[in-house]
């Protein structure tokens, strides 16, 4: 039993890093979790980890930008667990370049994964949530408070050189959040954003050879931060260090708990006191 006992959650990008920790945290508090990742292996492993801890989970691998993904993702929650209570739009990656060197492909890819995909998932969820609310009212039972947490970044609040695409997408997430908080308040749904600062994941950790990369839809994209730059970045954080994925997941969890039922349309900055 936990704060989220009986709840059904869907989490994108949950095979690794922050998303993995979010899925495990929600499951540890009793939620059944539909786990997405671009790759089937990590998605399945997160689902198995949840089951090993006594929870319920099902993986839905695939790109959040694929046509029809949103409907499949939302539908899996309803078909497998009978409802939908928590939506966490977490999936994403960076593909950096200064603006004069940034291609349309770079711009579109990052906007699609960080902004268009959350929009499509929320659009697909609306009929489900609306019907669940109508059913509760017809049965004369209290409409539960449902939760949406969209993941952003301090780059979307203050900008970041070399990340025009990423910063624009994450700034858009703030606008999406504020709008959905107003649209879905009538359904007793809170919609909030968590904006992360420097969190140590494979997207920020430097590879052993100093040249890490990931594969996204056949594209090889460089990731990692130069260790000297990383040290400088950490010095600008009042807590004096980067955050862990578990700490990042904790911030998301706060906005999924019953204690946050009257908090909506807000952005929680999880950045160790970093002043944007």
Catalytic residues: 166
Which residues, 6 or more positions from 265, have their beta carbon under 8 angstroms from its beta carbon? 177, 178, 181, 182, 191, 192
Which residues, 6 or more positions from 75, have their beta carbon under 8 angstroms from its beta carbon? none
How many CA within 13 A on the CB side of residue 33?
35
Which phi and psi angles does 269 have, rounded to 5°? -90, 120
Rounded Cα distance between 123 and 119, Å, is 6
Q: For helices 117-138 and 164-184, what crossing angle results, to 10°?
A: 10
- The set of long-range contacts for 134-142, using a CB threshold of 8 Å and a minimum separation of 24, is none
Which residues, 6 or more positions from 68, have their beta carbon under 8 angstroms from its beta carbon? none
Q: Are 188 and 144 in contact (CB under 8 A)?
A: yes
Rounded Cα distance between 27 and 7, Å, is 9
Q: Are 273 and 239 in contact (CB under 8 A)?
A: yes
Q: For helices 40-52 and 17-28, what crossing angle results, to 10°?
A: 30
Rounded Cα distance between 194 and 40, Å, is 26
Nearest to 122 by CA among 181, 165, 188: 181
Angle at 71 between CA 254 and CA 12, to 5 degrees: 35
């Amino acid at each position: 039993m936990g704060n989220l006992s009986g709840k059904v959650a869907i989490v994108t990008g949950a095979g690794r890093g922050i998303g993995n920790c979010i899925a495990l945290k929600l499951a540890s508090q009793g939620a059944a979790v539909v786990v997405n990742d671009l790759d089937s292996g990590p998605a399945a492993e997160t689902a198995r980890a949840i089951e090993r801890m006594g929870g319920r989970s099902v993986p839905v691998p695939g790109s959040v930008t694929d046509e029809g993904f949103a409907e499949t993702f939302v539908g899996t929650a309803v078909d497998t667990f009978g409802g939908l209570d928590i939506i966490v739009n977490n999936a994403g990656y960076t593909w950096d370049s200064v603006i004069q060197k940034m291609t349309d492909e770079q711009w579109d890819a990052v906007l699609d994964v960080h902004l268009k995909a959350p929009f499509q998932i929320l659009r697909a969820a609306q009929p489900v949530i609306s019907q669940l609310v109508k059913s509760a009212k017809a049965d004369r039972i209290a409409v539960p408070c449902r939760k949406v947490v969209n993941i952003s970044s301090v780059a979307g609040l203050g900008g970041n050189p070399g990340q025009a695409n990423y910063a624009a997408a994450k700034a858009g997430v703030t606008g999406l959040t504020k709008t959905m908080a107003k649209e879905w308040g009538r359904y007793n749904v809170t919609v909030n954003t968590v904006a992360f600062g420097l969190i140590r994941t494979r997207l920020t950790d430097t590879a052993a050879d100093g040249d890490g990369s990931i594969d996204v839809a056949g594209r090889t994209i460089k990731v990692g931060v130069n260790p000297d730059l990383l040290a400088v970045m950490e010095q600008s954080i009042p807590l004096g260090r980067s955050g862990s994925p578990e700490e990042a997941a904790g911030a998301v969890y706060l906005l999924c708990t019953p204690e946050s039922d009257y908090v909506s349309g807000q952005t929680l900055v999880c950045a160790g006191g970093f002043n944007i």
